[in-house]
Amino acid sequence: MPTIKDIANACGVSIATVSKALNGHDDVAEKTKTLIKNAAREMGYTPNSQAQALKTNRTYNLGVLFSDNAGRGLTHSYFSQVLDGFKVYVEKQGYDVTFIGPRFGNRRMTYLEHAKCRNFDGICIVCVDSFEEPMIKELSLAGYPIVTVDYAYPGFPAVLSDNKAGMKALVTYAYSMGHRKIAYIYGDDSDVTSERVSSYLETLETLHIDVNPSYLVGGLYIQTELTEEITTRLLELPDPPTCIIMPDDFAAMGGINAIQNKGLSIPKDISIIGYDGAKVAEVLRPPLTTFRQDAHKIGAEAARRLISDIKKEPHNSRLLTVSGEIIIGGSVGKI
């Protein structure tokens, strides 16, 4: 494997100049940088991570702790996009990503023990609903630079989707289509759900619509069976809703099953709305009206803030809310 010394000999420069060029220092001429980088690429040079860690006191390895209550892991379309956005950004900055789990090989260990074994420069915590869980609290107090996604924890930068604006946009759109009996099947107990439920209630109040307690029902995210059961119950109410907002686009398929089992059609007999902007919303017939979260940007912003903290760069704000957009499908009929 070629070394920095080999590149220096090939280019007729010093080892120090090669090191500076490969690390992007400003005191090397651009022409020389290009010469050195091209030579390194042609020779198949790759930096020694252990040597870099000793020299810079960094491993250029970031940990990701991902906790998904729905149990779908990386098959969850929203979080897979968040994590992809994070991964793409950090890799462009020269970092690797490693998932943090309760095991290291065959050995069970805490999240902190895993982090110490990997010697992470920083950690991204995604979709953890309680920092009071012992292993998470231990990790959060260990002094690592940390950024959180979908959960605002005091003392750490956080990146969140604008859940309040998303729900407000959906309820307001249903209202604009003439609906006044708007139900909402909400997801798991979490900060995200709390924001969406409060926005649903606030928007109804702003639109001077009385809240029907029967129209607000707790369900689960990414759960078609339960959503189907709840949708059936809503349809069987003495005064059923004319529009139902589902927990998310995937769960909406359970609601569609319930509607079809009743011999009803969408949107002629009943209107439905999803959430997330997943690809499945586009292929359903009719296409689902939904709110698309900018998941890729959320992941990239989390990466940017984490790396800024590692470099001890200042933030304009510790909390960043990322906007999304309403996607108008054909699942909401006009009354």
- The model's pLDDT over 192-237, given as tens digits with 9 standing for 90+, comes to 999 999 999 999 999 999 999 999 999 998 899 999 999 999 999 9
How many other β-carbons are positioned within 10 Å of the β-carbon of residue 257? Answer: 16
pLDDT value of position 75: 64
Of the candidate CATH numbers 1.10.260.40, 1.20.120.1730, 3.30.420.80, 1.10.10.10, the domain formed by 4-47 belongs to 1.10.260.40
3-state secondary structure of 148: strand
pLDDT bucket at 190, cuts 50 / 70 / 90: confident
Phi, psi of 69 (to 5 degrees): -60, -30
Nearest Cα to Cα of residue 291 among 203, 131, 165, 134: 165
The CATH number of the domain covering residues in 163-293:
3.40.50.2300
pLDDT value of position 54: 45
Is residue 265 pLDDT above 70, yes or no? yes
Whether the Cβ atoms of residue 247 and residue 186 lie closer than 8 Å to each other: yes
- pLDDT tens, residue by residue, 100-150: 987 666 778 898 998 898 899 999 998 766 667 888 889 988 999 999 998
pLDDT value of position 56: 52
Partnered with residue 96 across adjacent β-strands are 61
Listed by start position, the domains of the chain span 4-47, 61-161+296-323, 163-293
- Report the pLDDT averaged over residues 44-60: 62
> What burial class does residue 138 get, using C-beta atoms within 10 Å of its C-beta: 0-12 exposed, 13-18 middle, 19+ buried?
middle
Angstrom distance (rounded) from CA 305 to CA 65: 16
Structure tokens at 264: 């009803």
pLDDT bucket at 167, cuts 50 / 70 / 90: very high
CATH superfamily of 61-161+296-323: Response regulator (3.40.50.2300)
Full-model pTM: 0.80
Phi, psi of 146 (to 5 degrees): -135, 140
Structure tokens at 56: 């810079």
Q: Which residue has the tokens 């759900």?
A: 193
pLDDT value of position 83: 93
Whether the Cβ atoms of residue 21 and residue 29 lie closer than 8 Å to each other: no
61-161+296-323 and 163-293: same fold?
A: yes
Q: Sign (positive/negative) of CA torsion 185, 189, 192, 197?
A: positive
